[in-house]
Amino acid sequence: MNEPEPIRAERPDALPAPVSFREAFVFWLKLGFVSFGGPAGQIAIMHQELVEKRRWISERRFLHALNYCMVLPGPEAQQLATYIGWLMHRSLGGIVAGALFVLPSLFILIAFSWIYIAFGETPLVAGLFYGIKPAVTAIVVQAAHRIGSRALKNKVLWAVAAASLIAIAALDVPFPAIVALAAVIGAVGGRIAADKFTAGGGHGRADQSFGRALIDDDTPTPAHAVFRWSGLARVAIVGGLLWLLPMALLTALYDWESTLPQMAWFFTKAALLTFGGAYAVLPYVYQGAVVHYGWLTATQMIDGLALGETTPGPLIMVVAFVGFVGGYVKAAFGPDSLFLAGAVAAALVTWFTFLPSFLFILAGGPLVETTHNDLKFTAPLTAITAAVVGVILNLALFFAYHVLWPVGFAGAVDWLSAAIALAAAVALFRYQRSVIQVIAACGMLGLLAKALLP
């Protein structure tokens, strides 16, 4: 006889039932397949599911964890999933949550990359992409609205977000500089106007309560999340070995200048430069992968970015495409094992790109948990979150420009793409359709448009 499903509390004042590891595993696996829309969309999905619907974690604790992930190099949405998984079910929970956020995307990108490099572009793929790109634009706009409505609690934080948008869009200020300046503003503002930089405070939807949560504002820090020097040392040693052993094996099997060791070393460096998400590091990846190493062409890099935008998982997973194409084209295992070389290279660069993200959470999480009620820590992070809203809006504008004006402002507007984007926005904002429903419907619209129009 099957075990009955745990009864969920429907009343906001009732505490939700405890979440088993199996139940959390199923949720993280599902999230890995539906996490479209880049970091903003992925964070919005997690907020809707974990804070609003399931009430596994409170708004304030969710935002505090998000603030920490925002200042780390690496994909913040994947790190946030790792953090919440770790908080709920110890290190294994964090590893499972973070890995399942990435693995579906890795397998999908390996399959798509093989089709792309072996068979070239087909009308089917072109039609699907034509419809999906406007949908992704609408998803990012909706996500920017959701994140902004929570994070921008007052006029001061609105001003921080606006200044961030101007700095990155008009002045080309590097994202690390924006983060650093926002942190200074938060640190100073927390001293002279504390109420403006208090996490979870303010007015509007940011102050909205969804009821009691399993990990609530006043829930004591779990025993495994309490900071200990021995725990920090253990994570550092294990993490160092997980980097060193594969690197040593690669250098023992292959010449240091060959494709796989160079990929491992290059993407280790790239992982430590991804402040602000994938778009902040793409110029570095382009320069190395295309110009310096010649693993793929500029056109292939652009196509890989399109694949990354339209598949689930972090956008930085475009590195899996780069790895696959590089391993395939360079014939890392010889001319008779091209697919195997591409698949191994894709898995390899994913390992070295994401390993630091897990270590940052498992090592730094206990420190962050001790600060969730300490204003001198939360004020800078609150200001950083406001600044990142401006960066997300810039990403939405970037998508809209490339989708609606495919040849630049000098060319004509792609009105069909605009219509698909508008339909996706109406489905998301007005009818509250899910991301996966919108992606599927718009893909079909694009396919139909390419089939009917010359």
DSSP string computed for 101-142: HHHHHHHHHHHHHHHHHHH---HHHHHHHHHHHHHHHHHHHH
Predicted confidence (pLDDT) at residue 253 exceeds the cutoff of 50: yes
Distance, CA of 99 to CA of 291 (rounded, Å): 31
What is the model's pLDDT at position 356?
Answer: 92
Q: At 258, is the secondary structure helix, strand, or coil? A: coil
The mean pLDDT value for 162-185 works out to: 81
Predicted confidence (pLDDT) at residue 342 exceeds the cutoff of 50: yes
For residues 427 and 133, the model is more confident at 427
What is the model's pLDDT at position 407?
Answer: 66
Q: Please measure the distance between the N-terminal and C-terminal CA atoms of the chain and give it in whole angstroms.
A: 58
Distance, CA of 84 to CA of 59 (rounded, Å): 12
What is the model's pLDDT at position 328?
Answer: 94
- DSSP letter at 228 equals -
Q: What band does 371 get if pLDDT is binned at 50, 70 and 90?
A: low
Q: What band does 25 get if pLDDT is binned at 50, 70 and 90?
A: very high
What is the model's pLDDT at position 400?
Answer: 80
What is the model's pLDDT at position 354?
Answer: 94
Q: What is the pLDDT of residues 78-130, one digit of tens each?
A: 999 999 999 999 999 999 999 999 999 999 999 989 988 876 566 777 787 78
Q: Give the Å distances, CA to CA, from 166 to 147, 196, 241, 292.
A: 18, 22, 42, 32
Tokens 């000098």 map to which residue?
Answer: 410
Q: Where are the domains of the chain?
A: 19-206+248-454
Distance, CA of 391 to CA of 389 (rounded, Å): 5
Q: Which stretch of 137-141, 180-184, 271-275 has the lowest confidence by average pLDDT?
A: 271-275
Q: What is the pLDDT of residues 293-312, one digit of tens each?
A: 989 987 677 677 767 766 88
Q: What band does 376 get if pLDDT is binned at 50, 70 and 90?
A: low
What is the model's pLDDT at position 153?
Answer: 78
Q: What band does 4 get if pLDDT is binned at 50, 70 and 90?
A: very low
User: Residues 79, 70, 355, 263: what is their CA dihedral angle, to the nearest 10 degrees?
Assistant: 130
Q: What is the pLDDT of residues 30-89, one digit of tens each?
A: 988 877 656 767 887 888 889 888 889 988 888 888 878 877 777 888 999 999 999 999
Which amino acid appears at position 249 of this protein?
L
The mean pLDDT value for 249-263 works out to: 92
Predicted confidence (pLDDT) at residue 159 exceeds the cutoff of 70: yes
Q: What band does 437 get if pLDDT is binned at 50, 70 and 90?
A: confident
What is the model's pLDDT at position 61?
Answer: 86
Q: What band does 3 get if pLDDT is binned at 50, 70 and 90?
A: very low
Predicted confidence (pLDDT) at residue 5 exceeds the cutoff of 60: no
What is the model's pLDDT at position 454?
Answer: 59
Q: What is the mean pLDDT of the chain?
A: 81
For residues 11 and 117, the model is more confident at 117
What is the model's pLDDT at position 102?
Answer: 92
Predicted confidence (pLDDT) at residue 13 exceeds the cutoff of 70: no
For residues 21 and 433, the model is more confident at 21
Q: Do 383 and 202 meet the contact criterion of CB atoms below 8 Å apart?
A: no
Share of the chain above pLDDT 70, in %: 85
